[in-house]
């Protein structure tokens, strides 16, 4: 399901028609419930405008635990879920994308000795992610925000931040970027936020399986080869089809990277 198709359906629908009925993924920005047309930020329309980068800040730590919930017993704060999709340049969802979140606690403090409120996860086969956490507290000089690093298989890391609408400090924080505003609503004593990322991942939006218009490298999978979506190779006696354009590297053997290759 192409995202812009859904977006167009959403924009064409009247406020009385739930956008989710249009089929396909329910987009983050369709969840505003405001009755107004959702803003197309960041736009995703055939290969442009990836999610903006933001500074990492001083509190990132590598090697966070893999987990989708950052909640711990007794942790103070307002419950928060953040969910959405990760798309590539052709507005197709990207599976296997690493998302590494870190944030301040309810008092605006980061855990720089342990891994409290830090964790990483991967998008599923539909390109979706979901984080369970608390609303981060404020600390001097910044508006309310979450930090996240994203990396699609074989692609560069995108470091960015996510923001909350309606925060007074959004107007004075010089780093704040409205393109990174989540949609947020109250739900059951907590908050539900949504955001869709667009990564600079080449994608072939073409008609799908079948011989493409360009010749395929074919043959046996080999490090250093530039593969395109639809290319077919063999590896360890099995046939695979390339899902995303990339240059093969050690460790990206077809069975090990389902985001790049599927068994033919
Ligand atoms: Fe921060």
Q: What is the CATH number of the domain that holds 158?
A: 2.60.130.10
pLDDT (0 to 100) of residue 260: 81
Comparing 80-84, 132-136, 245-249, which segment has the lowest mean pLDDT? Answer: 245-249
Is residue 205 within 8 A of residue 88, CB to CB? The reply is no
Cα–ligand 1 centroid distance for 145 (angstroms): 6
Q: Residue 166 domain-assigned?
A: yes
Q: Count of domains in the chain? A: 2
Q: How confident is the model at residue 206 (pLDDT cuts 50, 70, 90)?
A: low
pLDDT (0 to 100) of residue 225: 87
Instruction: Say if residue 189 is in the same domain as residue 99.
Output: yes
Determine the structural domain holding residue 90 and report its residue range: 39-198
Cα–ligand 1 centroid distance for 19 (angstroms): 33
Cα–ligand 1 centroid distance for 57 (angstroms): 6
Domain boundary among 154, 180, 198: 198
Instruction: Say if residue 146 is in the same domain as residue 46.
Output: yes
Instruction: Say if residue 184 is in the same domain as residue 69.
Output: yes
pTM value is 0.65
Q: Where are the alpha helices (DSSP H) in the chain?
A: 3-12
Domain boundary among 144, 177, 198: 198
Instruction: Say if residue 85 is in the same domain as residue 105.
Output: yes
Cα–ligand 1 centroid distance for 104 (angstroms): 7
Q: Residue 8 domain-assigned?
A: no
Element containing residue 160 per DSSP (H, E)? strand 158-163
Vertex 62: Cα angle to 57 and 63 (nearest 5): 155
User: Can you tell me the distance from the alpha carbon of 233 to that of 224, in angstroms, rounded to the nearest whole number?
Assistant: 14
- More confident: 51 or 166: 166
Cα–ligand 1 centroid distance for 201 (angstroms): 26
Instruction: Say if residue 55 is in the same domain as residue 186.
Output: yes
pLDDT (0 to 100) of residue 250: 74
Taking residues 234-245, report their average pLDDT: 85
Give per-residue burial for 141-170: e unless 16+ CB within 10 Å, then b: ebbbbbbbbbbbbbbeebbbbbbbeebeeb
Using the predicted structure, report yes or no on whether residue 112 has a pLDDT greater than 90.
yes
Instruction: Say if residue 173 is in the same domain as residue 247.
Output: no
The mean of the pLDDT values for the chain is 81
pLDDT (0 to 100) of residue 214: 41
Query: Hey, how many other C-beta atoms are within 10 angstroms of the C-beta on 70?
Result: 22
Cα–ligand 1 centroid distance for 175 (angstroms): 11
Cα–ligand 1 centroid distance for 32 (angstroms): 25
Instruction: Say if residue 80 is in the same domain as residue 105.
Output: yes
Is residue 154 within 8 A of residue 98, CB to CB? The reply is no
- More confident: 217 or 127: 127
Q: Residue 58 domain-assigned?
A: yes
Is residue 264 within 8 A of residue 240, CB to CB? The reply is yes
Using the predicted structure, report yes or no on whether residue 218 has a pLDDT greater than 80.
no
> Could you give the C-alpha distances from 65 to 99, 117, 121, 137, in angstroms and in order?
12, 10, 9, 22
Comparing 102-106, 129-133, 259-263, which segment has the lowest mean pLDDT? Answer: 259-263
Cα–ligand 1 centroid distance for 99 (angstroms): 16
Cα–ligand 1 centroid distance for 241 (angstroms): 41
């Amino acid at each position: 399901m192409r995202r812009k198709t859904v977006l167009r359906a959403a924009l064409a629908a009247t406020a009385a028609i739930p956008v989710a009925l249009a089929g396909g993924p329910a987009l983050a920005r369709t969840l505003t419930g405001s009755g107004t047309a959702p803003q197309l930020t960041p736009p995703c329309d055939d290969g442009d405008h990836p999610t903006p980068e933001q500074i990492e800040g001083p509190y990132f730590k590598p090697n966070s635990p893999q987990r989708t919930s950052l909640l711990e017993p007794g942790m103070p704060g307002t419950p928060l879920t953040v969910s959405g999709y990760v798309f590539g340049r052709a507005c197709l969802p990207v599976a296997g994308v690493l998302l590494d979140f870190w944030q301040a606690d309810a008092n605006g403090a980061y855990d720089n000795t342990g891994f409290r409120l830090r964790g990483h996860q991967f998008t599923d086969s539909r390109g979706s992610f979901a984080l369970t956490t608390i609303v981060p507290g404020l600390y001097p000089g910044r508006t309310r925000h979450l930090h996240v690093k994203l990396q699609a298989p074989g692609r560069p890391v995108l470091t960015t931040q996510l923001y909350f609408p309606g925060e007074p400090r959004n107007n004075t924080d010089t780093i704040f970027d409205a393109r990174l505003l989540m949609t947020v609503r109250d739900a059951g004593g907590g908050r539900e936020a949504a955001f869709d990322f667009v990564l600079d991942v080449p994608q072939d939006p073409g008609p799908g399986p079948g011989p493409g218009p360009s010749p395929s490298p074919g043959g046996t999978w080999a490090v250093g080869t530039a593969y395109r979506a639809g290319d077919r190779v063999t590896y360890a006696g099995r046939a695979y089809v390339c899902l995303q354009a990339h240059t093969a590297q050690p460790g990206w053997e077809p069975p090990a990277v389902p985001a790049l290759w599927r068994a033919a």
